[in-house]
Amino acid sequence: MFQLTPAATQEILASALRSDAAGMALRVAARQGPDGAIEYGMGFDEVRERDESLQFGDLTVLMGAPSRDLLASTVLDLVETAPGELNFVFSRIDPAESEQPASEKAPGVCGSGCGCGS
């Protein structure tokens, strides 16, 4: 199941307020790139037909059908990727390793341009 850390949830909600997107849902998406790597994206959006909707506190997260399988074992976290630099990181997890912090898993960094105001 897709997971979102409390730190990521707080920053996304704060970003929504800063960008006049308060009350909007966050859409997360994933696709397999030509080299086999998974590419991630996110941005504020409205609900569409056939979306899966997940609730994380006051934040609604949407996933379209094409992304569901790729996001099923993924955690979205906010981590310090360099001193003083915070970025959203998508990490694939093995369900058997669910106790390991997201920051210690193989990341897919989502920096600026995500549409989330990071």
Residue type, 58: D
Q: Where are the domains of the chain?
A: 3-110
Q: How far apart are CA 45 and CA 68, in angstroms?
A: 17
Please state the pTM of the whole predicted model: 0.78
CA 117 to each of CA 13, 72, 82, 87, 100: distance values in angstroms, whole numbers, following the listed order: 10, 24, 18, 11, 28
Note the pLDDT of residue 96.
63
Range 69-86 average pLDDT: 95
Q: Distance between CA 106 and CA 9 in Å, rounded? A: 20
pLDDT by residue (tens digit) across 20-48?
A: 999 999 999 999 999 999 999 999 999 99
Tally of CA atoms within 13 A in the half-sphere of 88 that contains its CB:
28
What superfamily does domain 3-110 belong to in CATH?
A: HesB-like domain (2.60.300.12)
Answer yes or no: is pLDDT of 55 > 90: yes
In one letter, which amino acid is 49? Answer: E
Helix or strand or coil: residue 82?
strand
70's torsion region: left (phi>0), alpha (psi -120 to 50) or beta?
A: alpha
Q: Report the pLDDT value the prediction gives residue 112, as an integer from 0 to 100.
A: 37
Q: Which residue has the higher pLDDT, 54 or 100?
A: 54
Distance CA 43, CA 25 (A): 8
Q: What is the pLDDT of residues 85-117, one digit of tens each?
A: 999 999 998 766 544 444 444 445 444 344 444
